[in-house]
Structure formats: C-alpha cells, structure tokens
Amino acid sequence: MKTKITELFGIKHPIIQGGMHYVGFAELAAAVSNAGGLGIITGLTQKTPADLANEIARCHDMTDKPFGVNITFLPIVQSPDYPGYVQAIIDGGVKIVETAGNNPQEYLPPLKDAGIKIIHKCTAVRHALKAQRIGCDAASIDGFECGGHPGEDDIPNMILLPRAADELEIPFVASGGMADARSLVASLAMGAEGMNMGTRFIATKEAPVHENVKQAIVDASELDTRLIMRSLRNTERVLSNAAVERLLEKERTLGPDLGFKDIMEEVAGVYPRIMLEGDMDAGAWSCGMVAGLIHDIPTCQELIDRIMSEAETLIGSRLNGVLEN
C-alpha cells in the first residue's frame, strides 16, 4: 500500500507506533520497523541525552529500517535537556521525529537542517494548522478516543479526521482508536494517509512491558477507561484501577480546590512500577478506549501482516461489493 506517509518516511506500510512512556524502547521500535511500519523510541523515557543516544544505537543494531524518536515538550517548570535530546537524535542518524505536547517550533531548525522529517501530534485542527505553518512535514491527528492526553475539545475521529482533511495541506495519520484493518481503511476513507497505534502495540510480544500490562489491555472493554485531571485542564485517558478511582474521588471531593499536589501519589513516577514491575494498581497509566478491540497478544509482524491483509480484503471485496454494477 502506497500513501503519502509511506513515501515521506520510506516505509512499506502506513502504520506508525506512537511514542509511549516506558513502552517505546528499542525492542518495540525495531520490531515495528522490521515488520514494515514505523517504530518510535520514546525520548523522554531515557533519563539523559546520553541514554537516548545509547537507545538509538541499540535500535540501529536491531533494524536497518527507518525508525523515529518521540520528543514530548512538557509544560513544566524545570524542562528536560531538550537541546541535548535533539543533538542525540541528530548524532544518532535518526531521520524521523514525532513531536508532541507544546509547540516544537524552537527546536525545529536544527532538526530540519539535519534533514529530519517532523510529524507533530495534534488533538485539534487548529493545532495541526499551526504545525503546518511552522514547517512540520506531517501531523498525527489524535481523537478523543485516544489513550493519554486527548486535549480539551472532546472531538472524536469521525469528525476530527474529515475536518483535518478539509483544512490541511500536509499529510496526516489517524491516531486514537486505531487497532485493526477496519481502523486503517476507515482512516484512509476520511482523508488520512495512514494510522498511528499506541495501545494496540503495547499488547504485542515485543513490547518490553510486564505481562500484567498486556493482559490488562486484553481483558479490558471499551468501558474501562477513565478521564482524569479534567479540572486541571490536563485531561488524560487512563485504564481504570484502584488508584484511578481514588484519584477521581479526590477530584469529586476537592472540586475547584484540587491541585496537582493532591494527586501526586497516583500520577507521579508510577510508570516504572506499572510497566516494568506489573503493579497494576500503582497509579494511573495511559490506555485508549481501543482496548475493547484488542483480544490477543501477537508479534508486531503478525499484527501488521494481519492488518494489511484484511485491509486489502476490505477494500477489494467489501467496499467494491456494495457498489452497484
């Protein structure tokens, strides 16, 4: 399948594995890229630029296919060493970067000068238009269904993707609610040039997370996610667990008086305990509603091959079959 995204990034299939905290290590990124998609290393999971440089080198050892690095620009007082991370990406010979969070404009010049393609994750069309204006090569349009931060507009992809197609000149992929061939074909029909999957790639053999995490996704339905931190305008979709329900009770009880300090126990520094140790009630962790469509734990190769095979059948048989001769 050839789309503007496969051509832009030099990949075989229009499927991207998005950046995910304590999930996007070299093992997963390489497996996705080797299967014909675009694997992504999560930059800020690496504690220092030197650690990121090592992770990029490890990924190069595992694949000779294109892979990218995610950098999320966080609205925090003490920022990570973003110039250092950018330099590690450039020095590591990475040619694709997924940016997310705040406006990445300040860091684009050195990346663009190094010939790196930028895809920016956006939860609103206006954000995607800004990404286009500042020189991003592509956008990842993240609907309300997504795991992690869906923004504050609550627009699902059935509306958001066609709106993006109406407005954007740069190519974009669909993100949020993506799991299978139906997701891909529907995204293409609504104007996207491919899809970005997060939660679906956690439930794969190569994802370097505890088996408890993978099984929790398989066991979950589309009703098992919750939105937290809405009152702080830092909304995040997470899988329900004891810590999340405790956090939501604090939100209800404290109301407008809620501060980040009140929920530190449930959200700060919990990812290693969950993703690496399998302590499923340690805190809140990002998970999409798409968990309801995930029923197995395949290899990345099996997953991507299945998606592409079923997509061909959907396009060639089902869609053609509904047309009158």
Residues 6 or more apart whose CB falls under 8 angstroms from that of 141 comprise 122, 123, 125, 128, 157, 160, 161, 164, 172, 173, 174, 175, 192
**163-173 residue pLDDT tens:** 999 999 999 99
pLDDT at 77 over 70: no
Query: Which segments of 123-239 are extended strands (E)?
Result: 138-142, 172-175, 195-197, 225-228, 236-239
Query: Could you give the domains of the chain?
Result: 4-208+296-321 (3.20.20.70), 211-289 (no CATH)
User: Rounded to an integer, what distance in angstroms lies between the CA atom of residue 187 and that of residue 172?
Assistant: 10
296: number of Cβ within 10 Å: 11
pLDDT at 321: 87
Percentage, residues of the chain above pLDDT 70 = 99
Query: pLDDT digit string (tens) for 19-34?
Result: 999 999 999 999 999 9
Tell me which of 112 and 78 has the higher pLDDT.
112
* pLDDT band (50, 70, 90) for residue 320: confident
Can you give 41-66 as a three-state secondary structure string? EEHHHCCCHHHHHHHHHHHHHHCCCC
Place of tokens 């992809």: 157
User: Comparing 75 with 320, which gets the higher pLDDT?
Assistant: 320
pTM of the model: 0.96
At 152, the amino acid letter reads E
